[in-house]
C-alpha cells in the first residue's frame, strides 16, 4: 500500500462549531486530517480539562480548599502527549507528576494479558519477556515503562533473603531466581497484589501475573538489553493512606490532540488516588493491539482473544 506523502493535502468540507456558532467551510488540509473539527482543534490546540471529580467516599465531608486550589487550574505546560508519558500506580506516595492507573504501566500490561488469554498453552516467562522487550521498542525514546513496590515490601524481602540491603537494579545472576520468588511473596504494588490474591486459585491467570512480573525484572537485570533503559522502577516510602479519589476528564480538543495533564498524587501530607482514565484507555488499547499483532505475526497460532471493553469502545469511537 502506498504511503501518503507528508506534504500531501486533501479537501475537507463540512460544518464546524466554533464557540456557540456553526459554520460551513472547506479546508485544503494535511492528508491526515479527517474532519474540519479535527483541523480546528489541532491548529488551535483547544485543550482544557473539562471536569475534575473529587470523591471522598465518606472519609470527610468536604475536600480541603488546598486540594481544590491545586486541581482547579492545571498549567498548559503540564499537558503532554499521551504517547510520551508513562503511567504511575494509583498511590499517593508516588514522588513525581505523572499519569496514573491501577498498577501503573506493568499493571496495565498484566490486565491486558489476563483479558486476552484463557490458557497458558502458548505463554511462558520467556515468551512474555521477549514480547515485553518488543513492546518497549515501540515506545518513544523518552517514554518509560513503570513499576513500583514499597519500602515495607523491600524490608520484608531483605529479611527473607537475610540481606541488609537490596539493589533491585543490580541482582547477581546466581541470586535472580531466588529474588524473583521472594518478589511474588512480597508484591508491593497494591493493585497487582490484589490481582494476584484474586486469582490465587486460578492456575492460568495466576501464572500470567507471575510471569509478567518476572519478565519486567528479567529486562531490568539484563544490562546487555537495550530496552533496559526504558524501565522506571520506584520504591514508595511511608504509609499508604489515600484520602481522596480524583478523576480527571478532558475536553474533546484534548482527545483529538492526544494530550492529557500530568498531576501530582499528593498535596502536602495528603495522599490521593488519581485516575487518568482517558489516557489509560488509550494506552490500554494500544497494548491490546500490540499483543494481538505480536502473537499473530510471531507465533502464528489461534488463541481465545477477548479485547477488554475499553479497547472495544475506543475502536468504535474511531
Mean pLDDT per segment of 10 residues, for the chain of length 318 residues? 52 64 67 60 55 58 68 81 95 92 98 94 94 97 96 97 95 96 96 97 97 98 94 95 85 82 88 92 96 80 45 47
d(CA 314, CA 293): 17
The owner of cell 471536569 is 51
Q: What is the pLDDT of residue 318?
A: 46
Cα dihedral sign for 27, 30, 36, 40?
Answer: negative
Strands 270-275 and 266-267: antiparallel
Q: What is the pLDDT of residue 314?
A: 47
Q: What is the pLDDT of residue 306?
A: 47
Phi, psi (rounded to 5 degrees) for 75: -60, 145
Q: Which residues contact 313 (CB under 8 A, 6 or more apart)?
A: 281
Whether the CB-CB separation of 134 and 309 falls below 8 Å is answered with no
Three-state secondary structure readout of 70-83: HHCCCCHHHEEEHH
d(CA 121, CA 299): 12
What's this model's pTM, rounded to 2 decimal places? 0.80
Is 241 strand, coil or helix? coil
DSSP per residue, 91-109: -TT--S-BEEETTHHHHHH
d(CA 187, CA 82): 28
Amino acid at each position: 500500500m502506498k504511503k501518503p506523502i507528508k506534504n500531501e493535502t486533501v479537501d475537507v468540507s463540512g460544518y464546524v462549531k466554533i464557540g456557540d456558532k456553526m459554520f460551513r467551510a472547506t479546508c485544503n488540509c494535511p492528508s491526515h486530517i479527517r474532519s474540519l473539527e479535527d483541523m480546528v482543534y489541532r491548529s488551535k490546540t483547544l485543550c482544557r480539562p473539562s471536569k475534575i471529580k473529587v470523591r471522598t467516599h465518606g472519609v470527610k465531608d468536604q475536600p480541603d480548599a488546598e486540594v481544590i486550589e491545586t486541581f482547579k487550574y492545571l498549567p498548559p505546560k503540564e499537558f503532554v502527549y499521551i504517547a510520551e508519558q508513562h503511567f504511575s500506580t494509583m498511590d499517593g506516595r508516588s514522588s513525581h507528576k505523572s499519569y496514573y492507573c491501577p498498577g501503573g504501566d506493568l499493571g496495565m500490561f498484566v490486565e491486558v494479558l489476563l483479558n486476552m488469554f484463557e490458557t497458558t498453552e502458548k505463554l511462558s516467562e520467556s515468551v512474555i519477556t521477549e514480547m515485553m522487550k518488543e513492546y518497549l521498542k515501540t515506545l518513544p525514546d523518552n517514554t518509560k515503562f513503570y513499576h513500583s513496590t514499597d519500602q515495607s515490601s523491600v524490608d520484608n524481602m531483605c529479611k527473607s533473603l537475610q540481606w541488609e540491603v537490596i539493589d533491585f537494579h543490580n541482582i547477581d545472576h546466581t541470586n535472580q531466581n531466588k529474588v524473583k520468588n521472594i518478589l511474588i511473596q512480597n508484591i508491593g504494588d497494591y493493585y497487582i497484589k490484589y490481582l494476584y490474591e484474586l486469582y490465587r486459585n486460578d492456575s492460568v491467570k495466576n501464572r500470567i501475573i507471575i510471569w509478567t512480573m518476572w519478565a519486567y525484572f528479567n529486562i531490568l537485570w539484563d544490562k546487555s538489553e537495550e530496552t533496559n533503559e526504558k524501565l522506571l522502577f520506584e520504591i514508595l516510602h511511608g504509609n499508604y493512606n489515600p484520602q481522596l479519589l480524583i478523576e480527571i476528564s478532558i475536553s474533546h480538543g484534548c482527545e483529538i490532540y492526544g494530550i492529557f495533564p500530568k498531576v501530582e498524587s499528593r498535596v502536602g501530607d495528603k495522599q490521593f488516588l488519581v485516575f487518568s482514565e482517558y489516557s489509560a484507555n488509550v494506552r490500554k488499547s494500544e497494548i491490546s493491539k500490540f499483543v494481538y499483532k505480536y502473537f499473530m505475526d510471531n507465533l502464528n497460532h489461534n488463541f481465545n482473544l477477548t479485547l477488554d471493553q475499553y479497547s472495544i469502545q475506543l475502536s468504535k469511537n474511531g
